[in-house]
Amino acid sequence: MLHRNLTECVNDLEANGQLKRIDIEVDPYLELGLIQRLALKKGSPALLFTNVKGCQFPMLANLFGSKERVRFIFRSSLKGLKALLKLKLDPRDLLRNPLQYKALPRALWATRPRFVNDGAVTENSTTISKLPQLLSWKKDGGAYITLPQVYSESIKNPGIYNSNLGMYRIQLNSKYLEQDKEIGLHYQIHRGLGCHHAEALALNKNLGINIFVGGPPALTVAAVMPLPEGMPELLFAGALAGRRIDLIKGGSVKKDGTVISELAIPAEADFAITGYIKPNMLKPEGPFGDHLGYYSLEHDFPVMQVTKVWHRKDAIYPFTTVGRPPQEDTFFGEFIHDLTQELIPQVFTGIKQVHAVDAAGVHPLLLAIGSERYVPFASERKAQELLTNALSLLGNSQTSLSKYLLLTAHEDAPSLSAYDIPAFFKHILERTNFHEDLHFITRTTMDTLDYTGTALNQGSKLIWVAAGNKKRELCDKLPQIYLPEGFHSLQLFSPGIAVVSAPKHTQQRGEQDEKLKIFLDTLNSQENARKISLLVLCDDADFCSADWDNFLWVTFTRSDPATDIYGLNENIHAKHWRCDAPLIIDARKKEFHAPELELDPKIEQKVLEMGSKNKPLHGII
């Protein structure tokens, strides 16, 4: 079924047992977000809340709450979209296998938006304060739109073919924002909106912005697609929807003379907020409980001046909440991977596979498999082409935000998968030359949501490559090692990998810990310490070593490579950092890190009671 709008999608899901209506009153303050996360964890269907406290609009949770549900929503259009993507990979395949492309003409036609003068989205108007006031975590700075589609166009070359549709969180209220007239617009580094904003600032002009909520589900997915710069998300949305997207033309006027918007609006959206960003006007935005599992803190960001809030008469308000993975956005990532995995070698020459690790917060850790063909006649394969592969990954698209990039050679293990995380770590640790294979990039950009670096958007990266024959056998039993005072609970997590509890970190941002010099000296005096290949320092070794999800989350969301990596006999030779095993990562919490997300005990108790036997949410959460 090809969904023209969100209502059609909701009806389709309900008819197929993949959506349940919740009629009891629920509070958008903390309650609704927790219900959504618990239902997601349990694998429940999508939930339509029809009785939201203080709000006239029904709210839809977990629309994309499982891999199967996402594929079900787009089941009628996936074949055509995949044909379109495959054709981009190899245009000659159309001549070789024409019968495989029967769905292609429709997919191509669907990429062209259809312009109209008005649409369902403009049937009614409201104000920002009458929208659902969703607050997901207790320390959030205000209510947020969490599934927004933020639309902008180039000022120099306006029109949909020079547009950007992205998902950037929208703060609806705070002590800094003028109620109903201003909303906060947080966009992270390396986002398409930034290019349009830069143009507007250079010309000292307002930048028009429209924010859509709901509408055809393809619009929401398109807003998070990592498309090449210059490829409009609206065109991709049509192909994914399997039908042309109806767009109200910018500048269209209603019968009463009201200008709908200066920019285009999807006619079937559920909500549309129109407005603009003034040059050089910033206000504090945040805090916000984010997808790394911590709060992103209060910082100055652009403010959008609101000119109109439109909504259709049967408007449904889709939402999500984010937090420590896995959450609903995990399934966005899996769906995007399924669509784009065959395109990876075309975008990144030599790369066979990439895996932005969800359990580590996505951008903190990228595992990749590349090619090593530079000197095929050498007696021993070394990581050379892999470095070219790595620089390509860090120089393009969203992979450029990766903090730790671990890259191995396909030739060494053709069956190895970057998605088999234990096997990948075992493979790279067996082959790493700690004198040659660790390459730091310092004083560079990093993910806006990552607070481990030297400043907002600033930090370091590690390129960790490995190729060739095995260089060591990984220990499968914990060697006997003496630890200095304050260090305890040393345990083997996985072959070659150990974790240890360490004293509380007290250093300033960007400074290495003097206590670790004593720790390193103690290890250096013990031959047994060299049997460990990777050693992670943490606050709670039992928690860190409980499973791979905990290990990845702690290790890679709480460390900055340049500041927090150590090694035995570490030294710099010809400006290259090197060490002996073990490589040591300091993954303790630091005082300058953002606080971890925590539940409100009273809200948790109330929600869990709603899910108890004979209560309305029993079996759902």
Asked, for residue 591, whether it belongs to a domain, the answer is no
**Claim to verify: residue 11 and residue 155 sit in the same structural domain:** yes
Asked, for residue 278, whether it belongs to a domain, the answer is yes
**Claim to verify: residue 446 and residue 497 sit in the same structural domain:** no
Query: Given pLDDT bands bounded at 50, 70 and 90, which one contains residue 90?
Result: low
Q: Which residues contact 42 (CB under 8 A, 6 or more apart)?
A: 620, 621
**Claim to verify: residue 414 and residue 458 sit in the same structural domain:** yes
**Claim to verify: residue 361 and residue 305 sit in the same structural domain:** no
**Claim to verify: residue 334 and residue 295 sit in the same structural domain:** no
Asked, for residue 236, whether it belongs to a domain, the answer is yes
Say whether pLDDT at 106 is over 80: no
Using the 3D structure, point to which of 300, 319, 338 is the last residue of a domain.
319
From residue 574, give the alpha-carbon distance in Å to each of 35, 384, 436, 438, 520: 55, 18, 11, 14, 23
**Claim to verify: residue 224 and residue 255 sit in the same structural domain:** yes
User: Could you give the 3-state DSSP secondary structure of residue 520?
Assistant: helix
pLDDT tens digits for range 549-585: 999 999 999 999 999 999 999 999 999 999 999 999 9
User: Residue 346's pLDDT is what?
Assistant: 79
User: Residue 94's pLDDT is what?
Assistant: 59
Count of structural domains, the chain: 3
Asked, for residue 602, whether it belongs to a domain, the answer is no
Query: Given pLDDT bands bounded at 50, 70 and 90, which one contains residue 593?
Result: very high
User: Residue 105's pLDDT is what?
Assistant: 74
**Claim to verify: residue 525 and residue 393 sit in the same structural domain:** no
User: Residue 88's pLDDT is what?
Assistant: 67
Among 33-42, 79-88, 225-234, 611-620, the range scoring the smallest mean pLDDT is 79-88
Buried b (16+ CB within 10 A) or exposed e, 198-227: ebbeeeeebbbbbbbbbbbbbbbbbbbbeb
CATH of the domain at 402: 3.40.1670.10
**Claim to verify: residue 186 and residue 291 sit in the same structural domain:** yes
**Claim to verify: residue 215 and residue 140 sit in the same structural domain:** yes
User: Residue 279's pLDDT is what?
Assistant: 94
- Compute CA 293 distance to the chain's CA centroid, rounded to the nearest angstrom: 12
Asked, for residue 419, whether it belongs to a domain, the answer is yes
User: Residue 48's pLDDT is what?
Assistant: 99
User: Could you give the 3-state DSSP secondary structure of residue 170?
Assistant: strand
Asked, for residue 356, whether it belongs to a domain, the answer is yes
**Claim to verify: residue 450 and residue 303 sit in the same structural domain:** no
Query: Given pLDDT bands bounded at 50, 70 and 90, which one contains residue 110?
Result: confident
Asked, for residue 478, whether it belongs to a domain, the answer is no
**Claim to verify: residue 33 and residue 144 sit in the same structural domain:** yes
Using the 3D structure, point to which of 286, 302, 319 is the last residue of a domain.
319
**Claim to verify: residue 292 and residue 359 sit in the same structural domain:** no
Using the 3D structure, point to which of 295, 319, 343 is the last residue of a domain.
319
Q: Which domain holds residue 416?
A: 328-466
- Which has more pLDDT, 378 or 558? 558
d(CA 536, CA 539): 10
What string of DSSP letters covers 415-476? T--TT-HHHHHHHHHHH--TTTSEEEEEEEE--TT--SSSBTTEEEEEEEEE-SS---PPPS
Asked, for residue 272, whether it belongs to a domain, the answer is yes
